[in-house]
Amino acid sequence: MHLLTEYIATLAPDLRAWRRDFHRYAESGWQEFRTAAKVADVLDGLGYELAVGRDVVDADSRMGLPDAQTLAAAYQRARQQGAPERWLPAFEGGFTGIVATLRTGRPGPTLGFRVDMDALDLEEDREESHRPFREGFASCNGGMMHACGHDGHTAIGLGLATALMHYRDRLCGTVRLIFQPAEEGTRGARAMVAAGALDGLDYFTAIHLGTGVPAGTAVCGADNFMATSKFDARFTGVAAHAGGNPEEGRNALLAAAQAALGLHAIAPHSAGASRVNVGVMQAGSGRNIVPSSALLKVETRGETEAVNQYVYDRAQAVIQGAAAMYGVGVEVQMMGAATACSPSPAWVARLQTLAAQVPGITEAIATVDAPAGSEDATLMMARVQAGGGQASYMIFGTELAAGHHHEKFDFDEATLSAAVETLTRIALSAGEP
**Could you tell me which residues are beta bridge partners of residue 295?**
234, 282
Element containing residue 79 per DSSP (H, E) = helix 68-80
> CB atoms < 10 A from the CB of 361, how many?
21
Residue 419 and residue 414: Cα distance in Å, rounded?
9
> CB atoms < 10 A from the CB of 127, how many?
10
SS3 159: helix
**Best CA proximity match to 401, nearest among 152, 147, 143:** 147
Task: Provide the angle, in degrees to the nearest 10, between the axes of the packed helices 150-166 and 33-46.
Answer: 10
Is there a binding annotation on residue 49?
no
- DSSP character at residue 358: S
Q: How many residues would you count in the chain? A: 433
Residue 353 in contact with residue 365, Cβ under 8 Å?
A: no
- The residue type found at 35 is T
Is there a binding annotation on residue 208?
yes
Residue 312 and residue 298: Cα distance in Å, rounded?
10
Is there a binding annotation on residue 166?
no
Residues contacting residue 103 through CB under 8 Å, at least 6 positions apart: 49, 174
> CB atoms < 10 A from the CB of 107, how many?
8
Is there a binding annotation on residue 32?
no
Distance of CA 12 to the CA centre of its chain: 24
Residue 346 and residue 350: Cα distance in Å, rounded?
6
Residue 176 and residue 194: Cα distance in Å, rounded?
16
In which order are the strands placed within the sheet that holds 363-365? 49-52, 98-103, 174-180, 110-116, 203-209, 390-396, 217-219, 363-365
Is there a binding annotation on residue 150?
yes
> Strand ranges (DSSP E) for 247-347?
274-283, 293-302, 329-338
Residue 366 and residue 327: Cα distance in Å, rounded?
52
**Best CA proximity match to 127, nearest among 431, 401, 420:** 401
**Could you tell me which residues are beta bridge partners of residue 333?**
232
Using alpha carbons only, what angle is made at residue 379 by residues 375 and 383, rounded to the nearest 5 degrees?
150
Annotated binding site: 148, 150, 184, 208, 405
Annotated binding site for Mn(2+): 148, 150, 184, 208, 405
